[in-house]
Amino acid sequence: MKHETGHLDVRHSRARGTSHLFRQSWLPGNVRARVLLVHGLGEHSGRYEYVAQVLVERGFAVHAIDHYGHGKSDGHRGHVERFSVYLDGVEALLGAVRADDAESPLFLLGQSMGGLIAAHALIRNQGPFRAAVLSGPALKSDAEPPALVMAILRVLSAIVPTVPVLGLDPAGVSRDPEVVAAYVRDPLVHHGKVTARLAAEMSAAMKAALSGASEVELPLRVMHGEDDVLTSPGGSRAFVDAARSQDKTLKLYPGLYHEIFNEPEKDAVIGEMCDWLEACL
């Protein structure tokens, strides 16, 4: 397996400035297809090296960035001015990957907030992709604050957008204590709270993704742990139900937590995903 790293300079269309984003790729000797991997909130693309290794063994090249404000990329940790900033990064990566290879089939894989970003990317332009996989997508949260609290968050977002307001519980990541411990120790993971602006932007993005799900027509596989307390399996069900894809699957895993690729059953979960991707070829 060949591993390449670099950076992308991304000009943001709906927010101020340009971002310098970390990029990395895991490459097989013979590329059958390519996967754009979109990571989740507060983490970074390096946490998916094992997933990438399995995909590479099947002949899939894997390309990823660290989002703005994440990992080794520029930006205020736990904050974003507009949710579209994340989409700008994914679209820049897509452009770079297609410039290098315009022929090989291309898949989209998003986890958690990355699933939310991927859903918006599909609604905006699904043409470049053969199929998409969303894992534990942040389309709905059972832990979302009450309506009054969300109204206050929106006010704070407008007045003091960078004030920290909400944090994630690491215990909800995986049933494997070693995974949780590694997550807590990881210096590239943001362990603080997200800001009022990011919380408000994500809430609005969730509603918009579910409203636009009927635009999705390409083959779609959505995977979710039934015991996920960080994102709701109900959001995945609603998205799949609304999608117009002829080939669409909702796979729920009883007992699994949020990061199904980091659960004790990860090899079976990743293997099922790879089998489905190969079937799409």
User: What's the distance, CA 274 to chain centroid?
Assistant: 17
What local confidence, expressed as pLDDT, does residue 253 receive?
98
Question: 280 versus 1: which is more confidently predicted?
Answer: 280
What's the rounded Cα separation, in Å, for the pair 158 and 228?
31
What's the chain's Rg over C-alpha atoms? 17
Q: Per-residue pLDDT tens for 190-235?
A: 999 999 999 999 999 999 999 999 999 999 999 999 999 999 999 9
Q: Dig out the tokens for 259 from the structure.
A: 């990061």
What local confidence, expressed as pLDDT, does residue 77 receive?
96
The candidate with the shortest Cα–Cα distance to 252, out of 272, 267, 277, is 272
Average pLDDT of every residue of the chain: 94
CATH number at residue 115: 3.40.50.1820
Quickly state the pLDDT bin for 12 (edges 50, 70, 90): confident
Task: List the beta bridge partners of residue 25.
Answer: 4, 63
Q: Per-residue pLDDT tens for 80-114?
A: 999 999 999 999 999 999 999 888 999 999 999 99
Give the residue ranges of DSSP H helices in the chain.
Answer: 49-57, 84-100, 113-124, 147-159, 177-185, 196-212, 233-242, 266-280
- Contact by Cβ (8 Å): 138, 256: no
**C-beta neighbour count of 41 within 10 angstroms:** 23
**Which residues, other chains included, contact 46 with Cβ-Cβ below 8 Å and sequence gap of 6+?**
24, 66, 71, 188
Structural domain boundaries enclosing 168? 2-280
What local confidence, expressed as pLDDT, does residue 104 receive?
94
Domain count, the chain: 1
Tokens 């399996």 appear where? Answer: 233
Q: What is the mean pLDDT of residues 123-137?
A: 97
What local confidence, expressed as pLDDT, does residue 162 receive?
80
The residues annotated with a catalytic role in the active site are: 112, 228, 258
**Above 90 in pLDDT, residue 117?**
yes
The candidate with the shortest Cα–Cα distance to 209, out of 243, 175, 167, is 243
Tokens 């790729």 appear where? Answer: 25
Task: List the beta bridge partners of residue 194.
Answer: 166
Q: Per-residue pLDDT tens for 133-169?
A: 999 999 997 656 556 566 666 767 677 778 878 888 9
Quickly state the pLDDT bin for 259 (edges 50, 70, 90): very high
What local confidence, expressed as pLDDT, does residue 154 receive?
72
**Above 60 in pLDDT, residue 176?**
yes
What local confidence, expressed as pLDDT, does residue 148 receive?
57
What's the rounded Cα separation, in Å, for the pair 154 and 157?
5
**Above 80 in pLDDT, residue 268?**
yes
Length of the chain: 281
Q: State residue 189 phi and psi, 5-degree precision.
A: -85, 135
Q: Per-residue pLDDT tens for 62-82?
A: 999 999 999 999 999 999 999
